[in-house]
Chains A and B, each alone.
Chain A
């Protein structure tokens, strides 16, 4: 069955420290991976997608097909990065279905 796992439910780091939010997926096809973020009192929104190979707000994520991972990284965490982060995969076997991981709550300590 297709699954997205995020092993850390809670992650706390100090401001300026590197941060890595882990994501692994199980999917037999060619996946499209995304990271979504929900800041306090805001709606869930797209942070970045693997096909764009972009850096958003200092975050990057590399798709590693060998390890079936799509970890989110930032070299220097900022207080405004505190939020709930969800890894998601678009399943191409089902028309445009997107499933989410359980989420990781990131807290950046000043």
Chain B
């Protein structure tokens, strides 16, 4: 099966610009997560979709971040306007429906965002 794919792999933008990250989960995976790793720090939870619904967005840092998952397939994470502290690696992960048993997270390669 195809794994989780993320696009772009790298993005360099200037402060104040807008960037949209995309994640395509494994087909059939209801759960989709966004995480962020800032240089040298832990992988922090941003939000969790179950199908097209936002189950938990408690990790979203502020209203400059907007995530969508229209149709319950791929997801986008938009940062507008970007700030310097938004730099980091953004990971997407997906997993099957929890009711089918404990399902591990399958991660994409991440998008490295650099805001200058």
Q: Which A positions have Cβ atoms within 8 angstroms of B?
A: 32, 34, 36, 43-46, 49, 51, 86, 88, 90, 94-103
Contacts and interface: CB of A to CB of B under 8 A. Distances in A.
A90 B31 CA distance: 13
Contact of B107 (A45, A95, A101, A102): A45
Interface residues of B, number: 24
A90 B93 CA distance: 14
A26 to B, nearest CB: 15
B102 A95 contact: no
Nearest to A98: B105
Interface of B: 3, 31, 33, 35, 41-45, 48, 50, 55-56, 91, 93, 95, 98, 102, 104-105, 107-110
B107 A43 contact: yes
A49 B48 contact: no
Nearest to B48: A97
A86 B104 CA distance: 13
Contacts of B93: 44
29 contacts: A32-B102, A34-B104, A36-B105, A43-B3, A44-B91, A45-B107, A46-B105, A90-B102, A94-B48, A94-B56, A95-B55, A95-B56, A95-B98, A96-B31, A96-B50, A96-B55, A96-B95, A97-B48, A97-B55, A97-B56, A98-B33, A98-B45, A98-B105, A100-B35, A100-B43, A100-B44, A100-B45, A101-B42, A102-B41
A94 B58 CA distance: 11
Given A36-B105, A43-B3, A101-B42, 15 more contacts: A32-B102, A43-B110, A44-B91, A46-B105, A49-B104, A94-B48, A95-B98, A96-B55, A98-B45, A98-B105, A100-B35, A100-B42, A102-B41, A103-B42, A103-B43
B52 to A, nearest CB: 14
B43 A51 contact: no
Contacts of B50: 95-96
A45 B4 CA distance: 11
Contacts of B95: 96
A61 B43 CA distance: 21
